């Protein structure tokens, strides 16, 4: 029972995930994705990764999913949203989920050292310390990736003939 909070958070996240998969309307999928991400952010909080949780909410839930929503609405579908469920039967997702459950059970047998991290470790300062010293190169590289993808997205999504 001491893990109750964790179980609640886990349940919420998983429900969000299932919602993504099984909701017919893509907008509904997007909204359950937000739910799953918020659940994940809380899980990060239990790990004392506050900075990461904040970033998760801001960037992932706040920007990326919003982008998804924009695109869904841009792609105007008057009739019923296209692309329902696969012609394959339900067997496939069920099988996959079943396998992952099995895998999860295996994982639960892992004995882990009970190392309690210093709560201050997850703060922004600590992350920044690493990011700007040891991991400066990936940092810069990722910023270039962002730049490239920005340009790419603009170029790809432009209508033809529009300057």
Partner 1 sequence: MAYPLQNYLVLSALLFGIGMAGFLYRRNVIVMFMCVELMLNAVNLTIVAFAAHHGLNVGTVYALLIITVAAAEAAVGLAIIISIFRLKGTLDVDEYDQMKG
Q: What CA dihedral angle connects 72, 62, 38 and 70, to 10 degrees?
A: 0
| Residue 48 backbone class (left: φ over 0; alpha: ψ -120 to 50; beta: rest) | left
Binders in 93-152 for partner 1, by CB under 8 A: 93-94, 96-97, 99-101, 103-105, 107-110, 112-118, 121-122, 126-127, 129-131, 135, 138-139, 142, 145-146, 148-150, 152
Tokens of 126: 């600590």
Three-state SS for 108?
Answer: coil
- Burial class of residue 40 in the structure, from the number of CB atoms within 10 Å of its CB (0-12 exposed, 13-18 middle, 19+ buried): buried
Range 52-71, binding partner 1 (CB under 8 A): 52, 55-56, 59-60, 63-64, 67-68, 71
Minimum CB separation of residue 147 from partner 1 in Å reads 9
The minimum distance between CB 14 and partner 1, in angstroms, equals: 6
Quick note: the x/- pattern for partner 1 over 70-89, rule CB under 8 A, is -xx-xx-x---xxxxxxxx-
- Please report, as residue ranges, which positions from 19 to 38 form the binding site for partner 1 (by CB under 8 A): 20-21, 26, 29-30, 33, 36-37
| Least distance from partner 1 to the Cβ atom of residue 1, Å | 12
Q: Does 1 bind partner 1 (CB under 8 A)?
A: no
Which are the contacts of 90, defined by CB distance < 8 A and separation ≥ 6? none
Q: How far is the CB of 60 from partner 1 (least distance, A)?
A: 6
What stretch of H or E contains 135?
Answer: none
**Identity of the residue, 76 or 163, whose beta carbon is nearer to partner 1 in the bound complex:** 76
Q: Indicate the Cα dihedral angle 44, 49, 52, 56, nearest 10°.
A: 20
């Amino acid at each position: 029972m001491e893990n109750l909070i964790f179980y609640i958070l886990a349940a919420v996240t998983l429900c969000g995930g299932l919602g993504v998969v099984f909701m017919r309307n893509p907008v509904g999928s997007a909204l359950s994705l937000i739910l799953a991400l918020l659940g994940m952010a809380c899980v990060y909080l239990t790990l004392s990764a506050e900075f990461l949780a904040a970033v998760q909410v801001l960037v992932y839930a706040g920007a990326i999913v919003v982008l998804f929503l924009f695109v869904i609405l841009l792609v105007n579908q008057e009739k019923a949203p296209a692309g329902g469920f696969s012609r394959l039967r339900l067997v496939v997702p069920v099988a996959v989920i079943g396998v992952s459950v099995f895998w999860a059970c295996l994982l639960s047998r892992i004995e882990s050292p009970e190392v309690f991290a210093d709560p201050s470790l997850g703060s922004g300062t600590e992350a920044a310390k690493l990011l700007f010293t040891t991991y400066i190169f990936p940092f810069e590289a990722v910023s270039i990736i962002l730049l490239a993808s920005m340009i790419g997205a603009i170029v790809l999504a432009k209508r033809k003939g529009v300057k």
